[in-house]
């Protein structure tokens, strides 16, 4: 609740029910299909190839977020810890391995068993060892989609290297599915992916308005289809609906936060088990988190005239695969674009690539923009390392300083 005792939130988003139904139908198909192969894929992976080959993509990270929000992640993580995996490892990896062993999770019976795995290392190096362990345990083949790290600028050589990875992935999928890859179906999938991404960008853009029609906590929830089913007509239809609703809210002056006074940017993966409490805390202090570095990672650029090359380019340039100086430019760009008053950074115990360098980034952002930064220490799904009282105290002091 707000400091004045009123409701800190504006009108709820009507499209949420449609999104939930969409995801329920997706998981039902994945759990019950007898006709389509299942592939577990990392969040930064090129899902368009799977969609084009009629493969159902399943994301352990998405499931990890669901387990975190359901507050069952620590129990699953403990299963892998008892197997010898360190608590210092990514909590997505720990709970996913634990869930695979116990066949449990946020979905009854856990995730459907994969026929093969697709691991893309553009988000971190941990996923490689994580998926190798899954491949051994589940006894299924794995494809590693390798993307070179961008230290200063992306070279043409890097793009061509990843483009060759795309061609190798096609051969792998043809062997696993016993189907022929067709450029016609892939072009259709790429076109739908482009449409969905453009709609998602349009949704995020509406937050540039004052008051913002949604918060990044809403974006964290509504990002599920763009991550999971990018390249399908269903996702295009959904984001058409969501964008229209956001634009109507802008026209009517409906804000996500009652009496929006402060506008903030969020950096890093959400603290899934604390989403509601954090949303209440910021909204209750009239602060709206209008944008974030996490959901904008799926606002990728794909050119339909040469989808293979542009996908190779896009999947190489994502936020976690670039140097800290390039991250700084993106953060400063978000602050300026959304006219933010400050930056909130989640120092995520589980995600080293996302969190290392945040103190330097915070200082550099303040020097460049004059905007203050707050760093919250937590973990995306493992609530055992979270102190709600400490976070509340720091957030309230930060907003007071604004």
In this structure, whether the domain defined by 16-401 belongs to CATH 3.40.50.11900 is answered with yes
Is pLDDT at 143 greater than 70 in this prediction?
Answer: yes
For residue 200, the model assigns a pLDDT of: 96
Confidence of residue 4 (pLDDT cuts 50, 70, 90): very low
Query: pLDDT (tens digit, 9 = 90+) per residue, 72-82?
Result: 999 999 999 99
Token pair listed for 305:
């005239």
Is pLDDT at 344 greater than 70 in this prediction?
Answer: yes
Is pLDDT at 174 greater than 60 in this prediction?
Answer: yes
55 closest CA partner among 226, 224, 175: 175
Domain boundaries, the chain: 16-401
Query: pLDDT (tens digit, 9 = 90+) per residue, 375-401?
Result: 999 999 999 999 999 999 999 999 999
Greater confidence (157 vs 246) lies with 246
65 closest CA partner among 214, 218, 217, 220: 220
Cα 28 from Cα 112, distance rounded (Å) = 10
Query: pLDDT (tens digit, 9 = 90+) per residue, 11-45?
Result: 789 999 999 999 999 999 999 999 999 999 999 89
CB 316 within 8 A of CB 349: no
Query: pLDDT (tens digit, 9 = 90+) per residue, 42-67?
Result: 998 999 999 999 999 999 999 999 99
Write b or e for each residue in 157-168: b if 16 or more Cβ atoms lie within 10 A of its Cβ, otherwise e. Answer: ebbeebbebbee
Name the DSSP class of 338: T
């Amino acid at each position: 609740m707000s400091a004045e005792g009123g409701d800190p939130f504006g009108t709820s988003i009507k499209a949420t029910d449609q999104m939930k139904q969409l995801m329920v139908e997706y998981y039902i198909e994945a759990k019950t299909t007898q006709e389509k192969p299942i592939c577990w894929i990392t969040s930064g992976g090129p899902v368009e190839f799977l969609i084009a080959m009629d493969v159902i993509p399943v994301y352990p990270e998405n499931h990890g977020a669901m387990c975190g929000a359901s507050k069952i992640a620590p129990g699953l993580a403990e299963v892998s810890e008892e197997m010898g995996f360190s608590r210092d490892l990514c909590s997505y990896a720990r709970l996913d391995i634990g869930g695979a062993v116990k066949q449990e999770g946020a979905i009854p019976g856990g995730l459907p068993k994969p026929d093969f795995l697709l691991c893309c290392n553009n988000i971190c190096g941990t996923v490689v060892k994580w998926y190798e362990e899954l491949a051994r345990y589940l006894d299924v083949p794995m494809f590693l989609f390798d993307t070179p790290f961008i230290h200063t600028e992306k070279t043409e050589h890097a793009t061509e290297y990843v483009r060759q990875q795309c061609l190798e992935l096609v051969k792998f999928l043809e062997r696993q599915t016993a189907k022929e890859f067709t450029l016609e179906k892939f072009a259709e999938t790429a076109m739908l992916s482009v449409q969905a991404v453009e709609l998602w960008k349009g949704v995020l853009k509406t937050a540039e308005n004052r008051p913002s029609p949604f918060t990044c906590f809403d974006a964290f929830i509504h990002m599920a289809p763009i991550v999971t089913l990018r390249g399908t007509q269903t996702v295009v239809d959904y984001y058409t609906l969501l964008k229209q609703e956001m634009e109507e809210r802008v026209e009517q002056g409906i804000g996500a936060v009652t009496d929006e006074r402060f506008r903030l940017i969020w950096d890093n993966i959400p603290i899934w088990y604390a989403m509601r409490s954090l949303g209440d805390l910021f909204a209750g202090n009239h602060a709206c988190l209008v944008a974030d570095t996490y959901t904008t990672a799926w606002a990728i650029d794909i050119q339909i005239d040469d989808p293979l090359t542009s996908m190779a380019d896009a999947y190489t340039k994502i936020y976690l695969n670039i140097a800290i100086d390039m991250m700084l430019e993106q953060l400063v760009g978000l602050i300026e674009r959304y006219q933010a008053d400050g930056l909130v950074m989640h120092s995520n115990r589980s995600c080293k690539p996302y969190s290392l360098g945040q103190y330097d980034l915070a200082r550099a952002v303040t020097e460049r923009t004059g905007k203050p930064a707050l760093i919250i220490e937590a973990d995306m799904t493992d609530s055992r390392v979270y102190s709600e009282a400490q976070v509340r105290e720091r957030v309230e002091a930060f907003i007071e300083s604004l």
